[in-house]
Amino acid sequence: MAHITESELLEQVRDALVLTETEDGAMTVLELAEALNISAAMVRVRLRNLLIDGAIELVRVRRRKMNGIVSTTVAYASIKK
């Protein structure tokens, strides 16, 4: 991965959340990691900072697992201002 700044990564996470095309407008850590092509651990750190800043919120969403079962999981959504 090319060297990018913390603020650039935060902006990428914000953009991914705002531009997401999921039905519920939220993304899980794994969905964000895949969309941004970075590790889930990196995403979690960025999400924590965005939560502290009040730019995103923690929500519960329904997602279909690999075995076909739909369950509720934690995701993140951009706070509309």
> Which CATH number does the domain housing residue 44 bear?
1.10.10.10
Q: Give the number of residues written for the chain.
A: 81
pLDDT single digits (tens) 16-61? 777 666 667 788 898 888 888 889 998 898 888 888 988 888 999 8
Q: What is the pLDDT of residue 6?
A: 64
Q: What's the domain range around 59?
A: 6-78
Q: Would residue 53 count as lying in a domain? A: yes
Whether pTM > 0.85 for this model: the answer is no
Quick one: which of 18, 11, 12 has its CA closest to 37? 12
* Total tally of structural domains belonging to the chain: 1
Count Cβ atoms below 10 Å from residue 20 Cβ, excluding itself: 19
Q: Would residue 1 count as lying in a domain? A: no
Q: How far apart are CA 15 and CA 69, in angstroms?
A: 29
Q: Would residue 39 count as lying in a domain? A: yes
Q: Would residue 41 count as lying in a domain? A: yes
